[in-house]
Amino acid sequence: MSPDARGFKPLSTVLSRRCGSDPALQQLLEILADTCINVAERLQSSAFRRNTTIAGSQNSNGDLQKPLDLEADAIFETHLALLPNVAALVSEERDDVHWLKEPSAGDFIVCFDPLDGSSNIDVGMVVGSIFSVFRLEEDHQPYDLLSVLSGQNQIAAGYALYGPVTELVLGMGDWIDGYCYDPASGTFYRTHPDMTIATDAKEVAINAAREALWPSPIAQFIRDCFTPKLSGGRGANMRWTASMVADVHRILLRGGVFIYPEDREQNARLRLVYEANPIAFLMRSAGARATNGRDDILSLPVNDLHQKVGVVLGACDAVTYIQTQYEKA
Ligand code: AFP
C-alpha cells in the first residue's frame, strides 16, 4: 500500500500549507529535496565507480576532498541554478561565495555542507547533507554578506540523512517536520510531523578520543554522564557516528546531547555557517538548545564563511547545565 494510502502526506502537500504565503520558498525547499534525492542516488552508485578515493584536493578548511564531496556540491549548484531567485551559494567545498546572479531584494542565499561525514563513505557508514536558507532584504550593494549570514537571519534550514532510508528534516523556525523517501513513487512523505526533542539526555554523542583536550566544564559533565546512576551519576550511554547529521537525527528522535567543544587549545572542528547554524535553527524549532558551550549558536557573529565553532546541542537540561558550568569556570 502506498504511503499516502496509509495517511502519510507528500512533501508538496505539506509545504503548500507550511509555506502557503511564500510560493518562492516552497519551490526552493522542493528543489532542495530533489537535490538530496539526487545526492542519495549518486551515493548508491558510487561503490561501482570506485569513486570514494580522495580527489587529492583540499577545501578551505584543509579537509581532503573526496570526489563525492565535489559531486554533491555540483549537484546542489545544478539544482539551485534552476531557480530565478537564488542569488548566491556558500558551500563547504568552495573558498568564496558563488554568485549565480546580480542580487536583488527577495532573492535567496543558500549555504550548505553538501556531504557531511564524508570520511564515512569508504566504510559504508551514514552521511548527510545540511543546508540553510536566507532571504536578501535590500537590493543595494555591496553587501556585508557575513552579517546577512548570522544564524538569527535564517528563514529555513534542513538536512538529509543518507542511511537505510533517505530521510529529510525541514524547518522554518515555528515548525520542524521529518520525511522519508519512497523510491517507488520518487517522493518524500512526512513521517514525523512537528518533531519535539525529549527533555533529558540518556545518550551522549562525543568523540571520547579527544578527552585530554576537553575544557573542564565538558570533562566534568561527561564524567557525571558516564557515572552509573547507582553511584550518583546520570548513567548515560554513548553514541558517536562521526557524522553530525546522523547523531543529530538520533538526538531529535530519542533525546540526548551532542558535544564537539572548542578544545583547551581553542581549536574547534565544526563549521558555523553551514553546519552549526542550520542544525541550531532546527534544534530551536524542536524545543532544544544549541550553544558553543557559553553562548547560543544562533547569536554568534559570522566573521568568516568557514569559521569553526564549538558545539553543545540537544536536550535543554544538559545544554543549560553545561552553560552554567562554563559560567563558573
Ligand atoms: P567529515 O565531513 O570530514 O567526515 O567530518 C564530519 C564532521 O564535520 C561532523 O559531521 C562529525 O560530527 C565530525 O566531523 C566528526 O569529527 P571526528 O572525525 O573528529 O570524530
**pLDDT tens per residue across span 251-269:** 999 999 999 999 998 899 9
* Radius of gyration in angstroms for the set of CA atoms belonging to the chain, rounded to a whole number: 19
Do residues 174 and 193 make contact, with C-beta atoms less than 8 angstroms apart? no
What is the residue whose three cell numbers read 507528500?
A: 10
pLDDT for 54 equals 62
Position with higher pLDDT, 250 vs 62: 250
pLDDT for 239 equals 96
The values of phi and psi at residue 173, to 5°, are: 100, -50
What's the gap in Å between 276 CA and the centre of ligand 1? 12
C-alpha count within 13 angstroms, C-beta hemisphere, residue 30: 19
Coil vs helix vs strand at 87: strand
pLDDT surpassing 80 at residue 279: yes
The C-alpha atoms of residue 206 and residue 241 are separated, in whole angstroms, by 9
Question: In CATH, what number does 11-192 get?
Answer: 3.30.540.10
The C-alpha atoms of residue 166 and residue 179 are separated, in whole angstroms, by 9
- Helix (H) / strand (E) element for 64: namely strand 64-65
> Are both 11-192 and 203-328 of the same fold?
no
Lowest mean pLDDT among 28-32, 143-147, 167-171, 230-234: 143-147
Select 203-328's CATH number: 3.40.190.80, 3.40.1350.10, 2.30.42.10, 3.30.420.40.
Answer: 3.40.190.80
Grid cell at residue 273: 555557517
Atom of ligand 1 nearest to the CA of 270: 8
Residue 242 CB less than 6 A away from ligand 1? yes
pLDDT for 122 equals 85
Residue 122 CB less than 6 A away from ligand 1? no
CA distances for 273 relative to 2, 115, 117, 129, angstroms: 38, 15, 16, 13
For the chain, the straight-line distance linking the first and the last C-alpha, in angstroms and rounded, comes to 57
Could you state, in order of their start, the residue ranges of all structural domains in the chain?
Answer: 11-192, 203-328
Residue 119 CB less than 6 A away from ligand 1? yes
Do residues 293 and 322 make contact, with C-beta atoms less than 8 angstroms apart? yes
Q: What is the pTM of this model?
A: 0.96
**pLDDT digit string, tens, across residues 51-110:** 555 666 777 777 777 889 999 999 999 999 999 999 999 999 999 999 999 999 999 999
Percent of the chain having pLDDT more than 90? 82
pLDDT for 53 equals 58
